[in-house]
Amino acid sequence: MIRVWTENVSAGVLDRNGQRGSTFVYEVRALADQAVSVTMPVRLASWDTPLGVAPIFEMNLPEGALRERLRLAFAKATGRFDDLDLLTIVGRSQLGRVRFTGAEDQLDEGVPFQSIDEILFSRRGGDFYRYLIEKFATSSGISGVQPKFLVRDEGMFSAAQGTNRALSPSFRGATHIVKFWDPAEFPQLAANEYFCLKAADRCGLKVPPHRLAEDGSALVMDRFDLRPDGTYCGFEDFCVLNARRTDEKYRGSYETNVMKRFQQFANSPMVLQESLQLFTLIALNCAIRNGDAHLKNFGIVYDDVQGQAHLAPVYDLVTTTAYIPQDRMALTLNGANQWPTAKDLIRFGEGRSLGTRRTFIEMLERIADALSDTTTDIKLYSKEHAEFAAVADRMIAQWDEGRRAITV
């Protein structure tokens, strides 16, 4: 049995139900604002899931290499290793406002300290990756096939060290997301994402502060769900909003499962403005040829589970066709998963009543300009980092193709 917490208050308990399912029950005295998700309001009846756990509980479970590392470390002790077992390991430190502990335990995140500067400027190669996985694997409740770690930067706790915000010394949670990749499978993927995020910023999208390691091995990003006072805002990805399991993240369309779902849950006077931002993000993913823009790579954030929700800042942007030339869109648009033209994107925007044809043409022109400007940055970086040159050439070729496709 697992205790589930929201905003550091016990909201209810989660337990197995049969051989493969689970059941979540709210505390009898739980208030409406303690709901674990915008999709699961407080009620007396239980929330039953026939397979695994509810999407909001599965949302931050590690995938890929990190999950396998944890399975190897803990399966022998538990005799099994399902989603509930994984929650007991990484549940104290998660993205968003939901946390997990043992039924009788108190909540204490306790993420270890780590110098972000050491990550950015270290050249310790694979040894440093192994060091981080040993230190942070059990406190990294964050999804993703490629390894990601939640770390607590010691520099965030002293304004004297030049940080733009200083947290209380009593804060024990993570402050940053550190992303690594397998260089044999996806060489220079950190630099790839770095420049994709730079293009997104030039498009006027909200992008969390982020930095590329000196040796190009890692990308470090500030947590966008961490408030200045050390509390967390709510975060839910679009698998949760669509009541989908993680293994269903590639099922759906940008029209219904992303745009329509955002408008359903936004509950904000800024819904039209942010819907246009979401249109820009989808179009940008198409232009940079990101075939991994699935349901988990879009999200909402909110301060009150019953109040306004907003489009989450941009994350997980990469040019996948630099590695998989025949890659296609993760979700469908206008019924197809082939890369769209400007006509297709305008049809998409008009179909959701987001604006006029002129509005979309201007947005596509802005994306094209952002790609052109960022291409210059890629070329400059490539000259100074020969190891990035081959990937840079492929990215530039893909961006050129994407820019031509969205040009009216």
Tens digits of residue pLDDT in 68-123: 888 888 876 666 788 998 998 899 999 999 999 998 888 888 776 777 877 787 65
CA–CA separation, 235 vs 37, rounded Å?
A: 9
Residue whose C-alpha is closest to residue 196's, from 309, 288, 69, 331: 288
What percent of the chain is predicted at pLDDT more than 70?
Answer: 94
Q: State the DSSP H helix or E strand holding residue 345, giving kind and residue range, or none if neither.
A: helix 342-351
Bigger pLDDT: 1 or 131? 1
Does an H or E element contain 302, and which? strand 299-302
Domain ranges (residues) in the chain: 234-405
- Domain 234-405, CATH: 1.10.1070.20
Structure tokens that stand for 158 in this block: 């002293």
Contact 47, 24 (CB under 8 A): yes
E-strand spans in 60-175? 98-102, 113-114, 148-153
Please give the mean pLDDT across all residues of the chain. 91
Nearest Cα neighbor of 319 from 145, 180, 186, 147 is: 186
Q: Which residue has the higher pLDDT, 78 or 245?
A: 245
- Identify the DSSP state of 204: T
What average pLDDT does this structure show over 373-385? 97
C-alpha distance across the termini of the chain, in Å:
57
pLDDT digits (tens, 9 = 90+) for 310-344: 999 999 999 999 999 999 999 999 999 999 999 99
CA distance 91 to 34: 17
Amino acid 269: pLDDT = 93
Cβ-based neighbour number of residue 176 at 10 Å:
22
DSSP assignment of 238-287: HHHHTT--GGGTT-SBIIIIIIIHHHHHH-STTHHHHHHHHHHHHHHHHH
Q: Does this model's pTM top 0.85? A: yes
